[in-house]
Amino acid sequence: MEKRRLGKSDLEVSEIGLGCMGMSFGFGPPADKNEMISLIRTAVERGVTFFDTAEVYGPFKNEELVGEALAPFRKRVAIATKFGFDLDPKTTEAAPGSVGLNSRPAHIKQVAEASLKRLKTEVIDLFYQHRVDPEVPIEDVAGAVRDLIQQGKVKHFGLSEAGAQTIRRAHKVQPVTALQSEYSLWFREPENEVLPTLEELGVGFVPFSPLGKGFLTGKINADTQFDKGDFRNVVPRFTQENRKANQAVVELLEQFGRKRNATPAQIALAWLLAQKTWIVPIPGTTKLQRLEENLGAANVELSPSEIDELGTAAAKIEVKGARYPERLAQMTGR
């Protein structure tokens, strides 16, 4: 697998990474730990060098999983994790938004120490602010991460779901290596203001949910029943009515896939990879078959005319439903 550099930084990673959240959190009961360790290690063998986690996933369990799985390969891979929430160590189940935000500098440094232990590492390759905290100036956040970088505990600073002005302010204090936000053929809002800002500043972009939380794989329809603990049960875009309406996006991907002998997921990922050379999507999965399928997208090269045709056709489809419940939507774009 080829490598990509995140913006102007020296952080070079595989062109497709692996989002590990769903292995422990968000989409129903946690998957079997040993199976997930095997899956993560298989990803390394297939050339993946970029793995994404966060303290809130579990909470804490996903970092422990990723740390154990990657310990034998630590020098070959980059691990990204996140800070920004107040979590009770006794909590067994939490979701972003159900706990308070906390990006106070002292807390950031506490989280870093705890994450280093769970990840079984001496340095965090990329440390994201998980959500912008309106109670803490972003300059203070950037300064705290700068301190950690100077201490050798963190290599790179990142932001997640931040707005363009916040990115600019943070970047003046400590260069931002990457922004992580949702981006796919069915959520293209970053194209309006965020992507031009990143290009101007030389910041990399790491799209999460590049397959629309599974919807763009074509394996979800109006009749799909989600586990009671699945986050998608509260996402407006995933109501039964909206899933039925949004099949038009999947049908478009299937149409292109037939031309290229590729799956809808591979077309969706190939389109993302073609947007900018500093974009590194991080699709998540708990299945080996899906991992192989996703990584196969790196071999699907769309022509410039196909890229334009696909993007134009997708833009004409009105996607139904918001990507987050209102409470969580308020925590994005700040």
- Residues with a known catalytic role: 57
Q: In 10 A of CB 139, how many CB atoms?
A: 13
Q: Which of 125, 66, 78, 45 is nearest to 291 (CA)?
A: 45
Residue 187 pairs in a beta bridge with 184
CA 188-189-194 angle, to 5 degrees, is 115
**Per this entry, what is the length of the chain?**
334
Strand partners, 176: 157
Angle between helix 105-118 and helix 61-70 axes, rounded to 10 deg: 50
Residue 40 contacts residue 63 (beta carbons within 8 Å): no
Distance CA 56, CA 82 (A): 8
CB count in 10 Å sphere of residue 24: 24
Convert 200-235 to b/e letters by CB count within 10 Å (16 or more is b): ebbbbbbbbbbbbbbbbbbebeeeeeeeeebbbeeb
SS3 annotation, 55-116: CCCCCCHHHHHHHHHHHHHHHHCEEEEEECECCCCCCCCCCECCECECCCHHHHHHHHHHHH
Please give the Cα distance from 330 to 333 (Å, whole number). 8
